Amino acid sequence: MDWVTIISTTVKAAIGVETVLYALAAIGINVHFGYTGLLNFGQAAFMAVAGYGLAVSVTVLGLPFWVGIAVGLAAAVLLAIILGIPTLRLRADYLAIVTIAAAEIIRLVFRSVAFKDIFGGSDGRRGFSNGFYALNPFPEGEYGFGWFTFNHRVTWVLVVGWILVALSCLIVYLLMNSPWGRVIKAIREDEDAVRSLGKNVFSYKMQSLILGGVIGALGGFIYGLAFASVQPDIFGTETTFFAYTIVILGGAARVLGPVVGSMIFWVLLVLINGLLSGAVEAGYITFMNSTQVGPVRFLLVGVGLILLLIYRPQGIFGDKREIAFDAR
Amino acid sequence: MHADTTTTGRKAAALAAFKDLARDPGVPKPDPILVVDNVVRRFGGLTAVEVEHVEVQRGSITALIGPNGAGKTTFFNQLTGFDTADSGQWTFNGSSMNGVPPHKVARSGMVRTFQLTKALSRLTVLENMRLGAQAQKGESFWRALVPGFWRQQEDEITQRAEELLVRFKLDAKREDFAGSLSGGQRKLLEMARALMVQPELVMLDEPMAGVNPALTQSLLGHVKDLREQGMTVLFVEHDMDMVRDISDWVIVMAQGAVIAEGPPDTIMSDARVIDAYLGAHHDAPLSDSELEEQLHQAEAALEAEIEEETQK
């Protein structure tokens, strides 16, 4: 087994592109679920409309890069409003049902044959990221130190990505330590109590849905730009559920929970992948072949999530006392 | 001494206002803060609330009593906007309140508590209190991002919250999660939190339900205190001792309608109220054989008593 490669790819995963984009998606979920108590199971849709908003604006409409970003963000805000108006007045479960269905509808529209001219069907869209890489201040070459070495394109994506993660965390931190955040957390506990104290609960839930959706949309941009393409099936329901796993792993309603959760999630995923493929190739494991390694590692993720919920439901940063009061 | 005079003053003023009122349902009050007309709420075929006319006197403690299922809580929900009435109108301080959403009802100065306490468990006691304050600058999204905008107001709110917590003897718990409080302490917290809104009318839905007897007296004192501070209190309660102790006026509901009103010391002897609680024919015999049986029972009881007396 090639231990150096296994360990170096694992270490790289701690700050890699997947970590960044899932951290952003999870920060959004944390705003929805962790702080506000909104069960948004359609985070992938927010990422998708942002990624496709950028891609279609640039490739199909020929608009500049920055306009594409604006279109993507506007699409995420619009999606939040459309999802929120009918559901936010109802119980939390309805939002869960509507968001998961809406996310699938959006994915299927993007991959449909009827709209192939616009969204590119199941192949998706590519060739929209030149505007982004034109801004790259790093000349061609390798950057970093030790195992953390990336080429100039990835370096640029990571720098921008981590700046976005830091900004998102800062905004969440400021908001959640303000009276606004107090109302949001109170809504998670009991909406009627908050209404009886003169706060417009619907408006706050809508603001939260938009904020978390827009942060998730940033993850959609990072995906599109890092891989220079968007495909519909990247934005399936499992993307949303990975984000939920990350939030619970890091600890819900903690500012840095999703970031650390995302790092651990991807380090473990890459490490298990490396170890299993290495072991299969070296003949230590004979009951599966190398193509089965991919599904098996997600199977292990599921087992890990179950164990986590049993033994440490508050996550890494969580406070166990808070879980004890959650008698609903 | 000063506190004593105002105490008796407010109570006396409230009692004086009620002195010569008729005992009829819907009797007009000299200075009503809340006037309700023809409020109807139906759930399918069941008419839960059908109140023709009722008024609540400003500066008084008014109790709303009635047997289980009389529609008291539903009536509360209509008035505070938590449920929409099928028809009817009501005014608070002269302004019409029907169809107004609950948060606007609260902002206008009519604040309620709940039968099942709604302490916000994973917020600290102090955060629960701060939430009650109105017109907070830091509650708008963009201003929340810059602490400079709301820091000073937050300090003022915190000070007011701490004064209230001291009054309600919850100051030692200020940094604890509200979920860790006992049932009675949660009731206290909910009442204190409602006061952070600075309401004119406080509506308490069963403030004594599930409170241990040691805390009851303190809660009673706080309710009386609200009147002393110039607020009007309307509360739903089952415990008649408490109703007699603190209320100035009692409104009785049964089967969705207001059936009687009156002062607390005489209301329970009102025939309409007894009928509502015990049924109209509760003391009338149903048939001749039952009449005979009742006679036998009475005689037996008398004999037993005489026997007891002679044995002494």
SS3 sequence, A166-216?
Answer: HHHHHHHHHHHCCHHHHHHHHHHHCHHHHHHCCCCHHHHHHHHHHHHHHHH
- Contact flag B136-A186 (C-beta cutoff 8 Å): no
Answer yes or no: are the C-beta atoms of B60 and B227 closer than 8 Å.
yes
Confidence of residue B183 (pLDDT cuts 50, 70, 90): confident
Alpha carbon distance A252, A112 (integer Å): 36
B159 and B292 fall within a common domain: no
Residue A272 has pLDDT above 70, yes or no: yes
Confidence of residue B4 (pLDDT cuts 50, 70, 90): very low
Q: Which residue has the tokens 């002393």?
A: B228
Q: Which residue has the higher pLDDT, A305 or A154?
A: A154
Q: Highest mean pLDDT range out of A285-289, B12-16, B118-122, B128-132?
A: B128-132
B94 and B134 fall within a common domain: no
Confidence of residue A310 (pLDDT cuts 50, 70, 90): confident
B299 and B228 fall within a common domain: no
Confidence of residue A328 (pLDDT cuts 50, 70, 90): very low
Q: Tens digit of pLDDT for each residue in A231-242? A: 998 898 989 999
With an 8 Å Cβ cutoff, is B80 touching chain A? yes
Confidence of residue B2 (pLDDT cuts 50, 70, 90): very low
Q: A89, A177, A197, A211: which to substitute to probe chain B, counting the most B Cβ within 10 Å?
A: A197
Nearest CA in chain A to B196: A197
Q: Which residue has the higher pLDDT, A286 or A247?
A: A247
Confidence of residue B3 (pLDDT cuts 50, 70, 90): very low
ipTM value > 0.90: no
- Contact flag B144-A180 (C-beta cutoff 8 Å): yes
Residue A194 has pLDDT above 80, yes or no: yes
Name the residue among B118, B150, B180 with its Cβ closest to that of A193.
B118
Answer yes or no: are the C-beta atoms of A161 and A227 closer than 8 Å.
no
Classify residue B188: in a domain, yes or no: no
Copy the structure tokens of residue A251.
């600890």
Displacement of CA A249 from its chain's centroid (Å): 14
Residue A10 has pLDDT above 70, yes or no: yes
Please report the pLDDT score of residue B217 as a whole number. Answer: 84
Q: How many domains does chain B have?
A: 3
Alpha carbon distance A247, A318 (integer Å): 11
Confidence of residue B111 (pLDDT cuts 50, 70, 90): very high
**Helix extents (H) in chain B:** 2-18, 72-79, 102-107, 125-131, 141-144, 147-167, 183-196, 213-228, 240-246, 264-267, 271-278, 288-311
Q: Tens digit of pLDDT for each residue in B243-288? A: 888 888 889 888 888 888 888 888 888 888 888 777 766 566 667 7
Domain edges within chain A: 3-8+17-236
Please report the pLDDT score of residue A2 as a whole number. Answer: 81
Residue B176 structural domain? 123-180
Q: Which residue(s) pair with B36 in the sheet? A: B54, B90
Sheet of strand B110-112, all strands in order from the earlier edge strand to the far edge: B110-112, B201-205, B232-236, B61-65, B249-254, B257-262
Name the residue among B123, B138, B139 with its Cβ closest to that of A189.
B123
B109 and B248 fall within a common domain: yes
B11 and B152 fall within a common domain: no
Classify residue B146: in a domain, yes or no: yes
B85 and B127 fall within a common domain: no
Confidence of residue B127 (pLDDT cuts 50, 70, 90): very high
Confidence of residue B1 (pLDDT cuts 50, 70, 90): very low
B87 and B142 fall within a common domain: no
- Contact flag A180-B141 (C-beta cutoff 8 Å): yes
CA A72-A77-A83 angle, to 5 degrees, is 120
> What average pLDDT does chain A have?
89
Displacement of CA B272 from its chain's centroid (Å): 22
Q: B77, B112, B139: which to substitute to probe chain A, counting the most A Cβ within 10 Å?
A: B139
Supply the Cα-derived Rg of chain B in whole angstroms.
23
- Contact flag B103-A201 (C-beta cutoff 8 Å): yes
Copy the structure tokens of residue A238.
């499992």
| B270-277 contact pairs (CB < 8 A, 24+) | B270/B23, B276/B66, B276/B67, B276/B70, B276/B252, B277/B67
Least confident of A216-230, B33-47, B210-224: B210-224
Q: Which residue has the higher pLDDT, A320 or A257?
A: A257
Please report the pLDDT score of residue A67 as a whole number. Answer: 93
Alpha carbon distance B97, B234 (integer Å): 17
Nearest CA in chain A to B137: A179
Confidence of residue A293 (pLDDT cuts 50, 70, 90): confident
Confidence of residue A24 (pLDDT cuts 50, 70, 90): very high
Using an 8 Å CB-CB cutoff, list residues of chain A that contact chain B: 171, 174-175, 178-183, 185-186, 188-190, 192-201, 207, 211, 321-322, 324-327
Displacement of CA A61 from its chain's centroid (Å): 27
Task: Over range B62-84, report the average pLDDT.
Answer: 88
- Residue A155's nearest CA partner among A137, A130, A181, A180 is A137
Chain A residues in contact with B103 by the CB 8 A cut-off are 195, 197-201
Confidence of residue B218 (pLDDT cuts 50, 70, 90): confident
Please report the pLDDT score of residue B5 as a whole number. Answer: 47
Displacement of CA B120 from its chain's centroid (Å): 21
Chain B residues in contact with A171 by the CB 8 A cut-off are 145
With an 8 Å Cβ cutoff, is B107 touching chain A? yes
B174 and B54 fall within a common domain: no
Residue B142 has pLDDT above 60, yes or no: yes
Q: What percent of chain B has pLDDT over 90?
A: 24
What is the phi-psi region of residue B41: left when phi exceeds 0, alpha when psi lies from -120 to 50, beta otherwise? beta
Cβ atoms < 10 Å from Cβ of B236: 21
Task: Over range A94-121, report the average pLDDT.
Answer: 90
Task: Over range B183-212, report the average pLDDT.
Answer: 88
- Contact flag B102-A195 (C-beta cutoff 8 Å): yes
Instruction: State the nearest Cα–Cα gap between B301 and chain A, in angstroms.
Output: 52
